[in-house]
Structure 1
Amino acid sequence: MSVFAVPIWLPLLLLLPCILLLMKNKIHGRRQNKNLPPSPPYLPIIGNLHQIGNLPHQSLSRLAQRYGPVMLLKFGAKPIVVISSAKAAKEVLKVHDLDCCSRPLSASAGKLTYNYQDIVFAPYGEYWREIRKVCVLELFSAARVQSYRSIREEEVALLVNSISQSSSSATPVNLLEKMLPPTASILCRIALGKSFRGSDLDNEKFQEVLHEAEAMLASFSASEFFPYVGWIVDRFSGRFQRLDKIFHELDNFLQLAIDFHLNPDKTKEEHEDLVDVLLRIEREQAKSGGAPFTRDNIKAILFDIFLGGSNTAAVTTVWAMAELARNPRVMKKAQDEVRNLVGNKGKVAESDTPHLPYLKMVMKETLRLHPPAAMLLPRETMAPFKISGYDICPKSLLQVNNWAIARDPEYWKNPEEFNPERFDDSSIDYKGQNFELLPFGSGRRGCPGMHMGTTTVELALANLLYCFNWKLPSGMKEEDINMEESTGPGLTQKRTPLKLVPVKLF
């Protein structure tokens, strides 16, 4: 080779800075032509990820106080638009709902669902619309939720009995530990027809695997924020291997549940459980020749139901009891209401809860201060539009900071104070029409299981208030109750366990 010969890669290396400069100028030109939301300064490669702490909703709330309620960040290479005001949330979830109701379908999400598209990850389209219709009309309608009333009442009675046994020793009980088994059992019985304790479908084992799946979903995925190279990090960190293991186990469990329902010797129940409903829809679709509805569709819907509802009711009830324990006046007022209504019946029936307006105000205030999901699930924009005058580009991720909106002093007087009376004579509700209170989201991506979850919490909370007086552990004062948050898998949980001493009355 001649000493004057030039290696083929050298011109490419020399051209690289020019290419990067052209790309930078092109991006700069785009920014000049668009009125993009304000952004905090970001670092090369990682963007703003270094500014996000262990509690992302709190970190983003602090940034929004400085940069505004519509804020543009970069997580790696991904643009993230963070919404932190009710006005901007209304534009996103109502005015432009159709423009941003898709979901990002990442590589890891595809692995999570084993090629069956589920509601959480499905991009907006015909498939998603059909599945949403099934959930709203068949699975979570008011009539369907009401048909499971006896299940909820039975499991709440078991909860009261369990706490009663602890009350005889006058020792503090860990309320989350008490709440998790009955709420998990309610979900299993509603979805699968029974709890399956002690069988191949042992629900405690299933809950362990489900919690691992939730943790993986809530954890950082390099593939999502660093295209083309992030998969290398996920592969060598063992993330993909963990996903494979966890979701094979989930898939096996759901297949066993379906096989159980296909057994011709299975006892016919008075009401269909959710698997019965989905198998019926599968048969009807096959006969009508409509859009195919497969076993993978059934598994995907069941996965979403368990993912969204496994711990939500328990965590919300614990937050409510923690706030009541810190506010004896509110505790007494709520107890007086339920005891005056129920009298000496010995328990609160589900038919009693619609007649407990103050309890419902306690629920609203709990969901305001402690929404189960502090950040609504991300949306992906499908078309360009404007929010508060700012240009929002397609393929951006939109994150609504529900936690920040519910504590915004522009909408709430003394927002950090637990005050259920703020809802007295107020039309504000959590059903998605009031954008200052969005614990279950709104629009096309609102939570379809909202009614089922809140019904469980109201019944459990009413019985805890009716059957017991609650004391703090010896030497403890109301102000000693630690209300710091921790981000559990997908949920904003109480950082330290809530331990109270129950005193049985009924």
Structure 2
Amino acid sequence: MESLTWATYAVAWLATVSLLLLSTHLRRKKLLLPPGPKPWPIIGNLNLIGPLPHRSIHALAQKYGPIMQLQFGSFPVVVGSSVDMAKAILKTHDLIFASRPKTAAGKYTTYNYSDITWSQYGPYWRQARKMCLVELFSAKRLESYEYIRVEELKAILKDMCSSAGKKIVLEDYLSTLSLNVISRMVLGKKYTDETEDSIVTPEEFKKMLDELFLLSGVLNIGDSIPWIDFLDLQGYVKKMKALSKKLDRFLEHVLDEHNDKRNRVKDYVAKDMVDVLLQLADDPDLEVKLERSGVKAFTQDLIAGGTESSAVTVEWAMSEILKKTEVFTEATEELDQVIGRERWVEEKDIPNLPYIEAIVKETMRMHPVAPMLVPRMAREDIQIAGYDIAKGTRVLVNTWTIVRDPKLWDKPDEFCPDRFVGKAMDVKGQDFELLPFGSGRRMCPGYSLGLKVIQASLANLLHGFTWKLAGNVKGEELNMEEIFGLSTPKKFPLEVVVEPRLPLHVYGL
């Protein structure tokens, strides 16, 4: 009798489990997923992603449409490739897609997701965003640092003038400019100048940042197939751990230096962004305490975010202009008319230089620094365009395809700044045809600074020099290939010869 009871229980239990599995299966079958290529076992669709992921995904979007689903190893990835899909993800359902997937780069190079970019949506991130908007990137604070941007730009222009007639690599000057500006604004001094008390040499400082840009943008297999993550097949995690030790040693030194100054002076007034962060960390009223690791993570974000993107955008702009010399002619005519030949362009002049603004917008259209923006993650199940997107799905906004859509842009593959002249479209996240800085809650918080540096740098490079490609290379021969990483820079740096076009006293010579 007892064995019969157990048998009955066993049958009932098996029946219940079977029913549950069947109902789950039936529910799953009812899900309407976005179209996409059939995934392979284990790797999913990773076999379709080449060394330039944005171009691979662009090709797939042409086939499967404005919303498609890919499988990257163990994770579904939904890609939005139209204005409507971008608006749905970044505006209509922004809150649902406000989190980030967890990656090795976020874990090992940003103090376990303690920075602004990779932290998960919640009280900590909301507080970080508020700090950025109210404290770090407020109009008043950025204005207070304008003298730094002016000094560093003039120093670079003077250096370039001293090299007139010789072949120069433009990237070297642009990266030094953005690095010096950001170092002084964030850290309070330049780390590209070697001094006796330097914790790192200028070469080591630049190398660390170059490595950070590279490792932050790699396609790490362990991020897609977690159960083989421990094998570190590509060796990226090992490199990330080694880099994080170097960065931490540097950032500890920076924080110690700042705390020493703050402790020595009564009623110390914050002079740079690290000072501001340390003051915020001391604030007992913060909703979430800002730990020392958080200060270091934010500091690293500010340095990395502010250096690469502006230099890359200006280099692309000059490359496009050298392929199309009539753009240079039109730009310099505007500059001569508005600015004259006896002074440099100031930030306040930019609204009076609509063609310069148009060149910047067209460069950001053709060469978006983040062609798929930073990935987001669905915080709950949702439907978009009639398709089901499950909680935990990774979501990409494919701006590379949007800015090449012939329905939106006439001759989308042609560099044509005139398309923006007289148009109200801007890059501040409200016009979904053009989203170089993203949109919504997770839009780049420092976009206003980036825009100031890019516009002023480009305007003065065009104003101050005549340009030609080094080695008698013709414009149509210029290689315009890119590489993929945290940003999307030129594969081959731009080599040029410049000659001053203003009186020499303007350069400080």
Name the CA shift for 1:421/1:354 in 2 (closer, same or farther; >3 Å): same
Match of 1:208 in 2: 207
Q: Is the 8 A contact 1:116 1:296 kept in 2?
A: no
CA separation in 2, counterparts of 1:111 and 1:177? Answer: 28
Give the 3 Å change call, closer, same or farther, for CA 394–465 of structure 1 in structure 2.
same
Deviation at 1:481, TM superposition (A): 1.4
Q: 1:22 to 1:148 in 2, by over 3 A?
A: farther
**Percentage of identical aligned residues:** 40
- For the residue of structure 2 that corresponds to 1:484, the secondary structure is coil
Match of 1:193 in 2: 188
Contact 1:195 1:202 in 2 (8 A): no
Structure-2 change in CA distance of 1:106 and 1:370 (3 Å): closer
Q: How far is 1:203 from its partner?
A: 4.6
Amino acid at match of 1:63: L
Give the Cα–Cα distance (whole angstroms) in 2 for the partners of residues 365 and 180 of structure 1: 21
Asked if structure 1 preserves the Cα contact closer than 8 Å seen for 2:217 and 2:487, the reply is: no
Does 1:121 pair with 2:118? yes
Matched, 1:479 2:494: no
The aligned residue for residue 100 of structure 1 is 97
For the residues of structure 2 that align with 1:354 and 1:91, how far apart are their CA atoms?
A: 31
Q: CA deviation at 1:190?
A: 0.7
Q: Give distance in 1, aligned partners of 2:85 and 2:105.
A: 30
Aligned ranges for residues 86-485 of structure 1 at < 5 Å? 86-106=83-103, 109-115=106-112, 117-167=114-164, 170-196=165-191, 197-198=193-194, 199-227=198-226, 229-234=227-232, 238-264=235-261, 272-283=271-282, 285-286=283-284, 288=285, 290-473=287-470, 475-485=472-482
CA contact (8 A) 1:113 1:300 kept: yes
Aligned mates of 1:24, 1:184 — CA distance in 2: 57
Determine the C-alpha separation between the residues in 2 that align with 1:409 and 1:289.
48
Q: State the Cα distance separating 1:161 from its structure 2 match.
A: 1.3
Q: How far 1:501 sits from its partner (Å)?
A: 1.6
Gap runs ≥5 in structure 2:
1-17, 503-509
Using the TM superposition, give the Cα deviation of residue 207 of structure 1 relative to its aligned residue in structure 2, in angstroms.
Answer: 2.4
Q: 1:408 to 1:420 in 2, by over 3 A?
A: same
By how many angstroms is 1:311 displaced? 1.3
Q: Which amino acid aligns with 2:182?
A: L
The one-letter amino acid paired with 2:369 is P
Paired position in structure 1 for 2:10 = none
Structure 2 residue 501 is the aligned partner of structure 1 residue 490: no
**Contact 2:427–2:437 (CA<8 Å) still a contact in 1?**
yes
2:15 corresponds in structure 1 to: none
Paired with 2:69 and 2:21, the residues of 1 have a C-alpha distance of 18
| Contact in 1 for aligned 2:380/2:391 (Cα 8 Å) | yes
Cα 1:438–1:424 shift into 2, 3 Å: same
CA distance in 2, matches of 1:203, 1:22: 66
SS of 1:159's equivalent? helix
Aligned-pair distance for 1:263?
1.8
Question: Bigger shift: 393-402 or 251-260?
Answer: 251-260
Aligned partner of 1:242: which letter? Answer: K
Please list the CA deviations of residues 344-377 of structure 1 after superposition, one character each: whole Å capped at 9, or x if unmatched: 3232222222321110011100000011111111
Shift of residue 418, structure 1, vs aligned partner: 0.9
Change (3 A) 1:237 1:367: closer
**TM-aligned CA deviation for residue 378 of structure 1:** 0.5
Q: What CA distance in whole angstroms lies between the structure 2 residues aligned with 1:456 and 1:266?
A: 32
1:164-208 alpha-carbon deviations (Å, 9 max, x no partner): 1111xx233211122111111111111001103211154542221
| Higher mean C-alpha displacement, 156-165 vs 259-268 | 259-268
Deviations 1:295-341 (A, max 9, x none): 22211111211222221111110000111111111111111111222
Asked if the contact 1:334–1:465 (Cα under 8 Å) also holds between the matched residues in 2, the reply is: yes
Question: Any idea what the Cα deviations from partners look like across 1:269-317, whole Å, max 9, x if unmatched?
Answer: 997210111112222x13x475312222211111211222221111110
Distance 1:290 1:494, change over 3 A: closer
Hey, what does 1:11 align to over in structure 2?
A: none
- 1:405-460 alpha-carbon deviations (Å, 9 max, x no partner): 11111211111111111112212111100111111000000000101011011111
Paired with 2:66 and 2:372, the residues of 1 have a C-alpha distance of 14
SS in 2 for 1:447: coil
Distance 1:148 1:79, change over 3 A: same
Structure 1 range deviating more: 475-484 or 52-61:
475-484
**Contact 1:324–1:330 at 8 Å: present in 2 too?**
yes
Point out 4+ residue stretches in structure 1 off by more than 4 angstroms.
Answer: 21-28, 265-271
Q: 1:503 is aligned with what amino acid? A: E
Closer, same or farther: CA 106–346 of 1 in aligned 2, 3 Å: closer
Contact 1:260 1:266 (8 Å CA) reproduced? no
How many residue pairs match? The answer is 479
Secondary structure of 2:76's counterpart equals: strand
- CA 1:457/1:289 → structure 2, altered by over 3 Å: closer, same or farther? closer
Q: Secondary structure at the match of 1:244?
A: helix
Deviation, structure 1 residue 386: 1.8
What is the distance in 1 between the residues matched to 2:311 and 2:104? 32
- TM-score (norm. length: structure 2): 0.89
Q: How many Å separate the matches in 1 of 2:384 and 2:248?
A: 40
Flag the 1:406–1:252 CA change in 2: closer, same or farther, 3 A.
same
Answer yes or no: is the 8 Å Cα contact 2:116–2:301 preserved in 1.
Answer: yes
Give the residue type in structure 2 aligned to 1:233.
L
Residues 313 and 363, structure 2, Cα contact 8 Å, conserved in 1: yes
Give SS of 1:50's match. helix
Distance 1:373 1:267, change over 3 A: farther
Query: CA, structure 1 residues 485+113, in 2 after alignment: closer, same or farther (shift >3 Å)?
Result: closer
- Answer whether contact 1:201 1:257 (CA < 8 A) is retained: no
Contact 1:172/1:499 (8 A) holds in 2: yes
- TM-score, length basis structure 1: 0.90
Answer with 236-245 or 364-373: which moved more.
Answer: 236-245
Task: Return closer, same or farther for 1:303/1:473 CA change in 2, 3 Å cut-off.
Answer: closer
